[in-house]
């Protein structure tokens, strides 16, 4: 089951999660522009600007895998995807192939995350032991 985890009070904690994979779903862009999501910014900082480089290049139509070897960064893999190019079956096959059992998903746009929750649970829920959706918002204030 998909659980929501809020990093509203301590956004830097996104880089300390003990998940196997942090999957970042970036919003569609007509032109290269930086992220406005503080959680993505923290991850980018720990990855020495690799997400900024990805965004500056315009991204790709395929998943981009970034192994994490940075000290003080817990997930062993970060996957970047653009919302307009996600292929759910391919994502599932990749997660199964990498033997990911603990996944945290971070949508750059929280409204998009809420729209895709059912889809995420349908396509990925049964292949994971831990399945979390990260947010920079406070869920209590959202209600």
Query: Under 8 Å CB-to-CB from 127, ≥6 apart: which residues?
Result: 92, 95, 96
Is residue 69's pLDDT more than 90?
Answer: no
Domain architecture of the chain: domains with CATH: 3-142 (3.40.220.10)
Residue 139: per-residue pLDDT:
62
How many whole angstroms from its chain centre is CA 72?
Answer: 18
75 contacts 104 by C-beta, under 8 angstroms: yes
Q: pLDDT per residue over 113-141, tens digit each?
A: 989 888 889 889 888 999 999 999 876 55
Exposure of 135 in the CB half-sphere (CA atoms within 13 A): 19
> What six digits make up the tokens of 125?
């829920």
Query: Under 8 Å CB-to-CB from 121, ≥6 apart: which residues?
Result: 1, 2, 131
Is residue 103's pLDDT more than 80?
Answer: yes
Which residue do the tokens 């192994």 mark?
Answer: 67
Residue 30: per-residue pLDDT:
82
């Amino acid at each position: 089951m998909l659980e929501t985890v809020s990093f509203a009070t301590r956004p830097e904690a996104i880089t300390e999660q003990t998940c196997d994979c942090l999957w970042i779903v970036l919003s569609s862009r007509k032109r290269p522009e930086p992220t406005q999501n503080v959680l993505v910014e923290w991850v980018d900082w720990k990855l020495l600007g690799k997400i900024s480089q990805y965004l500056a290049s315009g991204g790709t139509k395929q998943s981009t895998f970034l192994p994490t070897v940075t000290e003080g960064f817990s997930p062993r893999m970060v996957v970047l995807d653009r919302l307009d190019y996600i292929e759910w079956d391919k994502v599932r096959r990749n997660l199964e192939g990498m033997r990911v059992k603990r996944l945290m998903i971070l949508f750059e746009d929280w409204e998009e995350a809420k729209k895709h929750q059912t889809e995420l649970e349908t396509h990925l829920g049964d292949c994971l032991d831990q399945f979390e959706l990260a947010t920079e918002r406070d869920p209590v204030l959202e209600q």
